[in-house]
A and B are shown apart, each in its own frame.
Chain A
Amino acid sequence: EVQLVQSGAEVKKPGESLQISCKASGYSFTTYWIGWVRQMPGKGLEWMGIIYPGDSDTTYSPSFQGQVTMSADKSISTAYLQWSSLKASDTATYYCARLDCSGSSCNYYYYGMDVWGQGTTVTVSS
């Protein structure tokens, strides 16, 4: 079974660092892009960026460039989303999802984000 399992909920203070994870199983981790999506409480979905675990190529949304870092460890089929200094406005649920696509920046074909993790809730509060 293809699945993405995310790390558990986190409660942090402003200024602290954090890394959340997304572990893939049931498919070839290095040949599918992984995307990250933010959902603030009661709000809609926001596309944060994507990473290709095969070579760690990344593309960030301008809204998140410099605010977070995406990475991947091929040896354990796990993608990560990292903050160096959290803000209260980072409070949200974060989802990882597999992109069913091909080519650089999915330019050959794009069939959507077909498998999603269960989400990781991050609460930042003093």
Chain B
Amino acid sequence: SSELTQDPAVSVALGQTVRITCQGDNLRSYYATWYQQKPGQAPVLVIYSKNSRPSGIPDRFSASSSGNTASLTITGAQAEDEADYYCHSRDISGYRWVFGGGTKLTVL
């Protein structure tokens, strides 16, 4: 079982803002990284460290954290953002990592 908990599914209207959350006690100590995965494709890193985006990731993607909850926010969701999103962080040992269960984002 995952130490990081995500809502299985979230939907957002085109152009609106959506927040995808990830909960876990380890998030009080470690940042979450976020990955986007589209069907049939490998995951893509979208957020790392506190709130940094790799080159090529649009600035509509941002992250925040409070207590045991990390959040990925997409401001002005586009059709191409429809995908599964996974949070990822160190486990409570600090020496291994764990993924959240994933959130399927639907853009309406």
Where the two chains meet, the residues of A that have a C-beta atom closer than 8 Å to any C-beta of B are 35, 37, 44-47, 49-50, 59-62, 95, 97, 100, 105, 109-114, 116-119
Judge whether B95 and A45 touch: CB under 8 Å. Answer: no
Q: Which residues of A contact B48 (CB under 8 A)?
A: 100, 110-112, 114
Q: How far is the CA of A117 from the CA of B48 in the complex (A)?
A: 19
Q: Are B99 and A45 in contact (CB under 8 A)?
A: yes
Chain A contact residues, majority secondary structure:
strand
Let me know if B42 and A61 touch, CB within 8 A.
no
Q: Is the interface of B mostly helix, strand, loop or mixed?
A: strand
User: Beyond A112-B48, A114-B54, A118-B42, is A47–B102 a contact (Cβ under 8 Å)?
Assistant: no
**Closest partner residue, chain B, to A107 (CB atom):** B94
Q: Is B51's beta carbon under 8 Å from chain A?
A: no
In the bound complex, do residue B96 and residue A47 qualify as a contact, i.e. CB atoms below 8 Å apart?
yes
Interface size range of chain B in the complex: 20 to 34
**What are 6 inter-chain pairs, A to B, with CB distance below 8 A?**
A44-B102, A47-B98, A61-B98, A105-B95, A112-B54, A118-B42
The interface residues of chain B lying within 8 Å CB-to-CB of A119 are: 42
B12 within 8 A of A: no
A-contacting residues, B58-108, CB 8 Å: 84, 86, 88, 90, 94-102
Closest to A111 in B: B48
Give which listed residue, A35, A50, A62, A116, contacts B42 with CB less than 8 A: A116
Residues 34-52 of chain B: 1 if any A CB is under 8 Å from the residue's CB, otherwise 0? Answer: 0101000011110111001
Extra contacts, 12 of them, besides A47-B99, A112-B33 (Cβ < 8 A), are: A44-B102, A47-B88, A47-B98, A50-B97, A61-B96, A95-B43, A110-B33, A112-B45, A112-B47, A113-B88, A114-B54, A117-B42
> Across the interface, do A111 and B49 meet the contact criterion of CB distance under 8 Å?
yes
Bound CA–CA A45/B98 (angstroms):
9
| Chain A residue at smallest Cβ distance from B89 | A110
Please, which residues of chain A bring their CB within 8 A of the CB of B100? 44
